[in-house]
């Protein structure tokens, strides 16, 4: 079956988004001597500047209408990002990326009660398949402890909450307003933490901190455009190319190798998510909305 031109463009945009997100993760890895919350402080500063610039150009109010749900979305996204950055700094890059990519599964499960979406029993089987992969990753790699597994699952769960919050917001809020609530929530407490526990960045670390913010925004932009113009089920699968980018970057730059069973676990995680995205009993938009 030939791809529609918009699908082709959407896949290219998603590949770009995945590459930029992988570069963001790489930059986080390269500043692992800095506290996670200080790193996120820089990420939030850059995000707030870029979001406010976009909001001003669009001529819209920055704080939106449904502020309670926007705050909840911001909190869920912030907690997920903190946990994700922690994993990137403490375990191999590809493993951290895989553990935090369970969010489409949790998005589906949370949608049962959050947005009253029907979920077919087979989708629960896909969840079990992905979770089996997570267990294999932890069980066959001594560098990944049960604690790391728990943090990864929690990060994906929080991202699932954030995705469903965006779904509840619907078209009532501008995407830039939704994105703006991440730095709005993050900045106060990360700034307070950084004030008391500041570690001075040195040399190249300043560049890496800048890259974290820029690559995150570029990834967000291309992901949003991809989901907007293309078939969700096709581009959502392509999003898993970020894991492949992470494997390549980790191998080349950090000599991060995995055994065959760990790679098999990563493949099971991806398979469960891909099958869940491809299975379309109704709407697939649960996977379509960026949460950061």
Tokens of 111: 């949608």
Non-local CB neighbours of 159 within 8 Å, separated by 6+ positions: 76, 77, 80, 100, 103, 106, 107, 291
| pLDDT digits 0-9 by tens, 252-290 | 888 888 888 888 888 888 888 778 767 755 544 444 444
Contact 85, 79 (CB under 8 A): no
In angstroms, how far is CA 224 from the centroid of its own chain?
A: 12
Contact 108, 272 (CB under 8 A): no
Non-local CB neighbours of 63 within 8 Å, separated by 6+ positions: 70, 177
Q: How far apart (Å, rounded) are the C-alpha atoms in residues 271 and 34?
A: 34
Ramachandran category for residue 114: left, alpha or beta (phi over 0 → left; psi -120 to 50 → alpha): alpha
Q: How far apart (Å, rounded) are the C-alpha atoms in residues 108 and 124?
A: 9
> 86-90, 152-156, 176-180 — which is least confidently predicted?
176-180
| pLDDT digits 0-9 by tens, 40-77 | 999 999 989 988 998 999 888 888 888 888 999 889 98
- With cut-offs at 50, 70 and 90, classify the pLDDT of residue 214: very high
Give pTM, 2 decimals: 0.83
Q: How far apart (Å, rounded) are the C-alpha atoms in residues 175 and 173?
A: 6
């Amino acid at each position: 079956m030939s791809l529609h031109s918009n699908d082709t463009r959407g896949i290219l945009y998603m590949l770009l988004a995945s590459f930029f997100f992988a570069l963001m993760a790489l930059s986080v890895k390269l500043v692992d001597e800095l506290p996670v919350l200080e790193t996120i402080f820089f990420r939030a500063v850059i995000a707030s500047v870029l979001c406010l610039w976009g909001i001003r150009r669009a001529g819209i109010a920055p704080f939106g209408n449904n502020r309670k749900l926007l705050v909840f979305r911001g909190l869920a996204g912030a907690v997920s990002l903190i946990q994700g950055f922690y994993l990137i700094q403490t375990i191999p890059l590809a493993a951290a990326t895989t553990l935090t990519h369970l969010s489409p599964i949790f998005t589906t499960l949370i949608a049962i009660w959050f947005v009253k979406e029907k979920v077919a029993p087979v989708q629960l089987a896909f969840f079990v398949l992905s979770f089996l992969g997570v267990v294999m990753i932890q069980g066959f790699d001594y560098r990944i402890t049960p604690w790391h597994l728990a943090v990864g699952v929690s990060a994906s769960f929080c991202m699932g909450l954030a995705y469903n919050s965006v779904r509840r917001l619907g078209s009532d809020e501008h995407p830039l307003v939704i994105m703006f609530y991440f730095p709005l929530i993050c900045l106060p407490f990360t700034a307070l933490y950084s004030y008391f526990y500041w570690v001075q960045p040195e040399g190249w670390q300043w560049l890496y901190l800048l890259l974290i913010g820029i690559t995150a925004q570029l990834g967000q932009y291309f992901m949003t455009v991809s989901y907007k113009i293309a078939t969700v089920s096709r581009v959502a699968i392509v999003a898993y190319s970020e894991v492949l980018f992470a494997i390549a970057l980790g191998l080349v730059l950090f000599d991060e190798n995995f055994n065959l069973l760990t790679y098999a676990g990563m493949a099971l995680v991806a398979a469960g998510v891909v099958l869940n995205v491809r299975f379309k009993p109704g709407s697939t938009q649960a996977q379509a909305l960026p949460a950061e």
